[in-house]
Chain A
Amino acid sequence: MITAVNVKKHFGEAAAVNDITVTIRNREVFGLIGTNGAGKSTFLRIASGVLKPDSGAILVDEKSVYENPAVKADIFYISDDQYFLPNATPKDMADLYSDYYVSFDRVRFADMLGKFQLKADRKINTFSKGMKKQLSVLLGVCANTKYLLCDETFDGLDPVMRQAVKGIFAGELAERDFTPVIASHNLRELEDICDCVGILHQGGVLMQKDLEEMKLNIHNIQCVFQNTQDEQAALGLLEIVKAERRGTLNIITVRGSEKEIMDKINSFSPVFAEILPLTLEEIFISETEVVGYDIKKLIF
């Protein structure tokens, strides 16, 4: 289990990570979602022992990770721009990592390279961005570490490869003690793989929940009321995250269970009321809007 307690990290005067407290349970896929500059990469760099937090602590299996090679032996970190040795081939990188990670599975690595149609003796600097990402994941998986920290790893992977990687993760989760932590902007990709997500904004954690629980507790509603009085009364009863009005149509994002919300709306006999499924992306946008991060302001 990875536990972050009040972790802070400043770069100069800018707070990259500001009081993050989060718990990542073993054997579940943790998604780290965040706006640009939210501190996802910094958090992963702290969690992998690259950076030292200014205050607070990150504990991996209850041990501090910074300058602790024994703990770091259980962590493989794939940065958003993974470094490969100059003129190195996949085989060279496997040699490098096998020096550090004693459980590195060379046989499996060679096998997986074949499956992903990557040549073991081809120079990595001739690889495309996506191929490098694939290679990073394969190296990470074959290192056989308990924790795999992936920073924007799915960016650049084509849909087929994304599914293949997801398949590998699923296989690993089923077979051994494996906990991937995936930071990404690609919320749709996390939606079908993550068990739990943490939403970061401006260095802090807005929320951390199981994905299903999160989906059950926030809903998108389209509704039309018979008159303004009903409308105001109904909306007043709801815990609205976001509200939009198009003519008489209200489009609202509301916290609470589906039944609870619909009961409250139906008590005013609306002309029309319908609950819509929320994607992770919509949840993310809604949650961040609450704290003043309005995606529309950025787009329009």
Chain B
Amino acid sequence: MISKNLFFKLIRQDLKKRIWCPIVMFIALFLVLEVRLLMATEDMLNHPDAYAYDLVTFVREDFFGRDMAMLSVVICGAAFLCGISGFAYLHAKTQIDLYHSLPVSRSQLFWSKYISGILQFFLPFVIHTLICAGIAAGRNAFAIGTISSIAVYIGLELLVFLLAYSVSVIAAELTGNMIIAILGTGVLFSYSAIITILVTILFHRFFQSYAVYGRRLGIWISDGVWCFSPLSMILKLFSSPNNTTMEEAEKLYKYDVSYVWFFIMAVVVYSLAAYFIYRKRASEAAGRAIAFGAAEPVIKAMVVIPCSYYIAYFFSVISSDTVSDGWFLFGLIFGFVVLCVLMEIIFRLDIRGAFLHKKQFVFNAVCVALLFIVLKYDVTGYDTYVPADAQIQSCAVSIQQLMPLAQNVRVNEFGVHYLNADEYRMANMEIQGNPSVMELARKAAKEQLAFRYFDYYEGIEESPEYIETLDRQENYRSIAFGYKLLNGKTVYREYYIDIADADTIGLLSDIFGDHDYKIGATPLFNDNWKITFESVYCKNNFQEDSIKLMPDMQSELIETYQQEYMQLTLDTVMHVVPLGTIEFIGEFNVFYSGEMYVYPQFTRTIALLREYGFDMEEKLTADDGATISVQKNNYGETDIVSYTDREQIQQILDNVISEEFSWDISSFAGFFDKQYTVLIHFDAEDSRHSNYYCFMEGQIPDFVK
């Protein structure tokens, strides 16, 4: 007969057996919760002016909000400890003999230990969280809204714990040895993240057109990559894709609500997997490296193949020539052999087993070699792939260095969201019905093969091959394509196009003239990014000023500018000197729009700015008392000449353009002559009041030459 309360007795027994575990949890959580909260609130109380938010907001939004991501590191550690310690008995024959001989079913044994492990974390966690809430209340930092924050906080951290915990339990079940279980936990915990990074590395190395967008946290997590390991999933939960909407941007430091359900599903799947593996696990597996013999070759292949490529990449990176395949291949072969031997030793727990399983060795070697051939010789045609027109739903194009974009946007009181131009455009641009896009894509893909990369080394500048290639590729410019396919997938490619080619420029002009291109190129024209700007910073060739914006002024100016920008052609960008720039600026002087060019054709914008108090067409004359010095850029030699003659000064002022204007568009606009640098001091008595200029192409006064 089995007691009705057996399940709870089992939990109690498990708790007694590893009482140290909840004690460790209690101490660790005390340090990362109460102590951290006390430190943070104390600092805020002592220096309230240093923060853009009050204590209540901090507790609700930050401590019980954005800090979840950082706390997850501790939670994962706790999950590992609870998971491994709870199921470590599977690695000891003596313990197996005891527990599996007791009159209790394995299901009961599993779930009791599983739930016991959860409780050993969860109860201390909830207690500490409630104490923190009490501390917050004691410091008048608790509001009604904090309750829901705490509920979400506990729920999400529990999910994180459960996911990491289940994986730790699975690792303990799949192995028969503690060391192997720890290694296995590491592999299972991070496998998809490791593969994601490897794919990025290898594709970058072997495919010139490789590009990935919609990514989260840098290269780590891409929406396009299958995330199945806790590390990837946790990073994905606490991040959001870049540059989609303001709403998304605001989640940067929060969590992805849409991903929570997927996360819950993953927790259920991993928990059930842990249960079924436990049921299938033979008791005699204790002491072996791997509990399931059939899994051994699979695990070996899963570890050896990617790790060999990591080692290959490591050797190529530390070598003097990172582009050549010599050291990469050496690393690949060396890494593969060492890893195969190492895996055999780990599995046998005996060095004499190093060269067993020759068939598996050969199979893995063939896989590694095949993968190398596929990558090296682009067997799949990755670089030349362009989807057929019939497959396309819409396209996004990002022509770098042609149109400025915001650098940062302050999304809320806690942080600034960095905007990447390509990321934004790939997420927001939807060009449809413009045949030039796909024509340029096909042309670019074809010409991509002729593009040559060089790995820098000292003395490369003197290499004739390098010089010749550099000259030939002088007019190559980067362009990114995003193909949204009808099947729901999005394919990205990045190419180098030759803008000296008339056909290419023709196609590019068609794209630049496309309404959808311009609308999707900057968040300034995107209604989703409704941001109130405080001012507009205006610059012309010789002066700059900030104009405070009222809401009606903002909408009027943006609307007027947008209407005129829609008429802008690539030909104008390439051949017409802009009068100046305007930049919309948000709260706390965080730049948003980037410097938008104002061309002479933008008459309504110019008039509006004049109405607001800034004359975009105002020019400097020799009578304004500026002093000018011109430096000839002669390969490191400085040859500076100052001019005082009023006629000469006027001639120079009539033919220079601010260097700042050239930064964004110089790759396309060929009217800058960088042979000379002109320094103009607007105020003879104040050397700080100055700016750098360059001459316009073909307009260098004779007396300067």
Residues of A in contact with B (beta carbons under 8 Å apart): 11-12, 45, 48-52, 67, 69-73, 75-77, 79, 81-83, 85-86, 92, 96, 99-102
Contacts and interface: CB of A to CB of B under 8 A. Distances in A.
Contact of A45 (B10, B13, B97, B293): B97
A144 to B, nearest CB: 12
B144 interface: no
Interface in B1-16: 1-3, 6, 9-10, 12-13, 16
Contact of A83 (B12, B95, B104, B282): B95
A73 B103 contact: yes
A69 B104 contact: yes
Contacts of B97: 45, 48, 50, 77, 79, 82-83
Nearest to B100: A50
Given A45-B97, A82-B98, A99 B283 contact: no
Given A69-B2, A85-B17, A100-B104, A79 B94 contact: yes
A73 B2 contact: yes
Q: Is the interface of B mostly helix, strand, loop or mixed?
A: helix
Contacts of A69: 2, 103-105, 108
B503 interface: no
| Most interface-central of B94, B100, B282, B283 (chain A CB within 10 A) | B100
Contacts of A72: 101-104
A51 B282 contact: yes
Contact of A73 (B1, B17, B95, B98): B1
Given A72-B103, A99-B10, A99-B13, A82 B94 contact: yes
Contact of A50 (B12, B92, B108, B283): B283
Contacts of A76: 101
Contacts of B293: 12
B37 interface: no
A64 to B, nearest CB: 13
B279 to A, nearest CB: 9
Nearest to B279: A67
A85 B9 contact: no
A81 B101 contact: no
Interface in B79-97: 92-97
Interface string B9-33: 1101100110000000000000000
Given A72-B101, A79-B97, A92-B16, 14 more contacts: A49-B100, A50-B283, A51-B282, A67-B106, A69-B2, A69-B103, A72-B103, A77-B101, A83-B92, A83-B97, A99-B6, A101-B103, A102-B1, A102-B2
B556 interface: no
Contacts of A11: 284
Q: Is the interface of A mostly helix, strand, loop or mixed?
A: loop
Interface of B: 1-3, 6, 9-10, 12-13, 16-17, 92-98, 100-106, 108, 282-284, 293
12 contacts: A12-B293, A50-B97, A51-B284, A69-B2, A69-B105, A72-B104, A73-B103, A79-B97, A82-B94, A92-B16, A100-B102, A100-B103
| Most interface-central of B3, B6, B283, B284 (chain A CB within 10 A) | B284
B101 A50 contact: yes
Contacts of B95: 83
A71 B105 CA distance: 11
A74 B408 CA distance: 72
Contacts of A75: 101, 103
A79 B368 CA distance: 47
A79 B100 CA distance: 12
Contact of B103 (A12, A51, A70): A70
A187 B293 CA distance: 38
B663 to A, nearest CB: 68
B201 to A, nearest CB: 39
A229 B124 CA distance: 90
Contacts of A45: 97, 101, 283
A51 B100 CA distance: 8
Contact of B98 (A49, A67, A83): A83
A69 B109 CA distance: 11
A48 B98 CA distance: 10
B13 A96 contact: yes
A12 B100 CA distance: 21
Nearest to B5: A99
Contacts of A102: 1-3
Nearest to A41: B97
Contacts of A50: 96-97, 100-101, 283
A85 B16 contact: yes
Contacts of A82: 94, 97-98
Contacts of B3: 99, 102
B276 to A, nearest CB: 14
Contacts of B108: 69
| Most interface-central of B1, B96, B98 (chain A CB within 10 A) | B98
Q: List 10 A-B pairs, minimum CB-CB distance, nearest first.
A: A73-B103, A72-B103, A83-B94, A77-B101, A79-B97, A99-B9, A48-B101, A50-B100, A83-B98, A69-B103
Nearest to A102: B1
Contacts of A83: 92, 94-95, 97-98
B282 A49 contact: no
A51 B104 contact: no
